Structure 1
Amino acid sequence: MTTVDSTVRTTALTDTSSSAAKKTDTLGRDQFLKILLTQLQNQDPTNPIDDREFVTQLATFSSLEQQMNMNESISQLNKVMSTFVAHQDPFTTYVGWIGKEVVGKQDDKEISGTVKSVKNIDNEYFLYLEDGTKISPWDVTTVGEKS
């Protein structure tokens, strides 16, 4: 079986070096199948692969396939969530500030207070503090829990 192992290593090295354009260092499903087929084709007829070893290799392949599918699903979910967050209405964020303490600068004066409400006036958002002060969210530097 030493001959098969060296053949498999040579095949694996040849496959990865010929695909230098690929950026991954991981063993993909196609490479795994090529190695498995090479191993089967080059096995010693007088000493074939042990059934348990073959089943272990197939289980490894199945596990690899499931992990790759899960990685792809997580990647797609990440893209969807990133798109959602990028297109989220800022009003939702500002409403989350109601009841929170904000600190900001307006006309070179520091303003602080608890957000009482949020209003959209002509597509521009404003925070109204408990003392009646109106401040643009763009002027807010800190948002925190009410002290």
Structure 2
Amino acid sequence: MSIDSIGSATTGLRGNSLGQEDFMKILLTQLTYQDPLKPMDNQQFMAQMAQFTSLEQTQQLNQKMATLISNQAALQSVGLIGRTVDINTGGSSLTGTVASLSLAGDSPSITVRTSSGATLQNIALSQITAVR
């Protein structure tokens, strides 16, 4: 049994993933209905268990990496306070100084004061085109 990808496949089950309890139910069903004259091969059984464990650990690693990336973006954005940035606001480019940082929600956002005195709030980090 090979595992090709674990990305965006959906199964329609809770949280779009199979848990260890689901695996045990499948295993119990396999053992219940196996042919007594041709029992399941132990090596095949151990390989399936190892693959399931590997898949579960990979999913946990993906979740932890996503959290790490989010935390790192928040920490790096603190260094923008007081710096001059160029931002893209719907087709036009503005220059200003980062006045504050907000960590509310999923991603950090900044407040920028332009040289003309205007204050732009809730600017996403993805809108920053240059930092000086």
TM-score bracket, normalised by the shorter chain, equals 0.3 to 0.5
Structure with more helix by fraction: 1
Greater Rg, structure 1 or structure 2? 1
Please, what TM-score do these two structures have when normalized by structure 2?
0.47
Please, what TM-score do these two structures have when normalized by structure 1?
0.43
